[in-house]
Amino acid sequence: MCFILNNYFYSTIQVAQHIINYNFGMKLFCFLILVNTYYYSFAQQTVFEKSDGLATATYFETINFYKQLATSHKSIKVEEAGQTDAGYQLHVVLLSSDNTFNPAMWRSKQKVIILINNGIHPGEPDGIDASMMLVRDVVNKKITLPNNVVLAIIPIYNIGGALNRNSSTRVNQNGPLSYGFRGNSQNLDLNRDFTKTDTKEASSFAKLFHWLQPDIFIDNHVSDGADYQHTITLITTQYDKLGATAGNWLRNIFEPEIYEGMKQKNWDLIPYVEFDGADFNKGINMFYEPPRYSSGYAALYGTFSFIPETHMLKPYKQRVQATYDLMVTFINKAWSNATSIKLIRSQHLQQQLTQQNFALKWGLDTTKKASIIFKGYQQDTVISQATGLPKMFYNHLKPYTKTVTYFNHFTAQNIVAKPLAYVVQIGWGAVISRLMDNGVQLKQLQKDTSIYVAIYNISEYKSRLQPYEKHHNNYAVKTIKVYDTIRFLKGDYIVPLNQLGNRYLIEMLEPTGDDSFFAWNFFDAILQQKEGYSDYRWDEVAAEILQKDNTLNQQLINKKASDSAFSKNGPAILNYIYKNSKWMEKAYMRYPIYRIE
């Protein structure tokens, strides 16, 4: 029997042999595809997944993971984004469904830009591993990245802390096996550095932030403190800071949608509150976030900002999954609210251009309140095996659920009027460089120029006795405003208040701001008197001054009459005359940022 194949005659034996060879080849081909698929799939697994949720990726493993994905997927790009104190470049991972990676183009197409920060505290690595899985699942189409949403992810922000790897500095935390350290290469907490900018990381972040101009910012963390049932909590930008339109939309629409989205994923998300020592009968307060924090900084530019805080005592695998699900929820809600997000942010930024008064402080408003469902554990007492004394513990055998009053409204305080412009003298280079990092528009004087300005004199202030992040902060600052014509020099800077950085400028350049440059000791040199006098010489000059200056002489007479101790204190009298004479140095206690009003 014969068969005709491709115009050739083959015997039955020959045909059988071809069929055997064909089947073997197909099986081998399928086997190789299977092996290759398995290898590819395994290669794309994260360290977290390969360890079954026990380990977190190192800095180098994390960056290499993203670079490998970028070699085989057009929708991802890994870019360097500036220097860090560790000597390594900061990286940012960009994801776009249309394979474009230009933020200006994204904004022109009305795409919602989500910036995600990880590893600001590398001992809290949940976001590092969750983001790696998220990006992989996006590029492999397991998760859809909508056309109107783009992602920018900082894989690890605190590289120095990530390289300082250990397994003992997070004593309260349940995993992973090893992790990074909270401080960076200067041993500074980067989540206190967004305004003072003592680190290269903060400088690089500011430039990256203004390049991206994100609509939503997420900074992944792990919480410390009390024990409770919830796996993940959330700090949301203080609504009132964003004004009525943006703040109310965030409070009443977008944030509730995030909570509902997490509920659908079986997570009981609640606001982050500091539960230690809280009296639930009196209620709990929303977290107050001055601009030193990442979310407080981003809020200065109208960005809807969030800090997820997973609970330290929950298993690491569970915490990472909750962080992953929250980021997916943000993507989905950004997609469905894209039009509102872009419109409301645009309106908010335009309002800041014309806004005349700005609040430098915010006070809790206890006349307004909400409520949350809190799932905790009852506190019990046992004898400590370490001390032999009674200790408090959270009894997991006694869980409870209760409605708790939640105060999340704030009122504006310390309101200052916006000047037309500030004048910053060229000698304050540390301040000028930070303004430039933040995209502030500056205009240098081309010649010496006399300008009539408002001047703050520091009348009172206190300084912290203990250092805080390399500074002894100034607080309780009071000023006296006077007006005068000052001769400024060629090279000094005019800073107009008609730009998108208006709020940042007022927060940083007004001396009474919580996180102003004055609060962070940038101008402490003015608090030290540089010139002085010898009593024996000044006594003669002072007498001549009193003879010529009837006004000062009368002031001195009145001062003596009202203060008997002063009237008997010769050095104090001489000092009073000196401080009220032309000889007193004008730079002493004079705040060196001037207002053009």
Task: Write down the residue that tokens 């380990």 correspond to.
Answer: 55
pLDDT of residue 283: 84
All residues at 6 or more sequence positions from 565 whose CB lies less than 8 Å from its CB, including other chains:
none
Distance CA 396, CA 48 (A): 28
Helix (H, G, I), strand (E, B) or coil at 101: coil
Distance CA 240, CA 518 (A): 25
pLDDT of residue 562: 96
Q: Sort 332 into a burial class: Cβ within 10 Å, 0-12 / 13-18 / 19+.
A: middle
Contacts for 318-324: CB closer than 8 Å, 24+ residues apart: 318/231, 319/126, 319/222, 319/231, 319/232, 320/48, 320/53, 320/126, 320/129, 320/130, 320/133, 321/130, 322/126, 322/231, 322/232, 322/267, 323/126, 323/127, 323/130, 323/220, 323/232, 324/130, 324/133, 324/134
Helix (H, G, I), strand (E, B) or coil at 64: helix
Residue 170: count other Cβ atoms within 10 Å of its Cβ. Answer: 22
Rounded (10°) CA dihedral 133, 119, 331, 250: 160
pLDDT of residue 319: 98
3-state SS track over 350-406: HHHHHCCEEEEEEEECCCCCEEEEEEEEEEEEEECCCCCCEEEEEEEEEEEEEEEEE
Helix (H, G, I), strand (E, B) or coil at 424: strand
Residue 495: count other Cβ atoms within 10 Å of its Cβ. Answer: 21
Q: Letter for the amino acid at 311?
A: H
Residue 260 · residue 267 · CB < 8 Å: no
pLDDT of residue 430: 98
pLDDT of residue 495: 98
| H/E stretch holding 188 | none
Q: Which of 541, 534, 579 is nearest to 559 (CA)?
A: 579
Distance CA 444, CA 85 (A): 30
Eight-class DSSP state of 251: I
Q: Letter for the amino acid at 268?
A: D
pLDDT of residue 273: 75
Q: Letter for the amino acid at 124?
A: E
Buried b (16+ CB within 10 A) or exposed e, 254-288: bbeebbebbeeeebbbbbbbebeebeeeebbbbbe
Phi, psi of 349 (to 5 degrees): -65, -35
pLDDT of residue 280: 73
Distance CA 289, CA 278 (A): 18
Eight-class DSSP state of 419: P
- Please give the chain's pLDDT, 597 residues, in tens: 344 334 444 455 565 566 566 566 666 555 555 545 444 555 689 999 999 999 999 999 999 999 999 999 999 999 999 999 999 999 999 999 999 999 999 999 999 999 999 999 999 999 999 999 999 999 999 999 999 999 999 999 999 999 999 999 999 999 999 999 999 999 999 999 999 999 999 999 999 999 999 999 999 999 988 899 999 999 999 999 999 999 999 999 999 999 999 999 999 999 997 765 567 778 889 998 899 999 999 999 999 999 999 999 999 999 999 999 999 999 999 999 999 999 999 999 999 999 999 999 999 999 999 999 999 999 999 999 999 999 999 999 999 999 999 999 999 999 999 999 999 999 999 999 999 999 999 999 999 999 999 999 999 999 999 999 999 999 999 999 999 999 999 999 999 999 999 999 999 999 999 999 999 999 999 999 999 899 888 999 999 999 999 999 999 999 999 999 999 999 999 999 998 999 989 899 999 999 999
Residue 275 · residue 225 · CB < 8 Å: yes
Q: Which of 544, 149, 526, 558 is nearest to 331 (CA)?
A: 149
Q: What is the pTM of this model?
A: 0.90
Question: β-pairing, 390-407 with 284-285?
Answer: parallel
pLDDT of residue 27: 60
Displacement of CA 584 from its chain's centroid (Å): 42
pLDDT of residue 29: 56
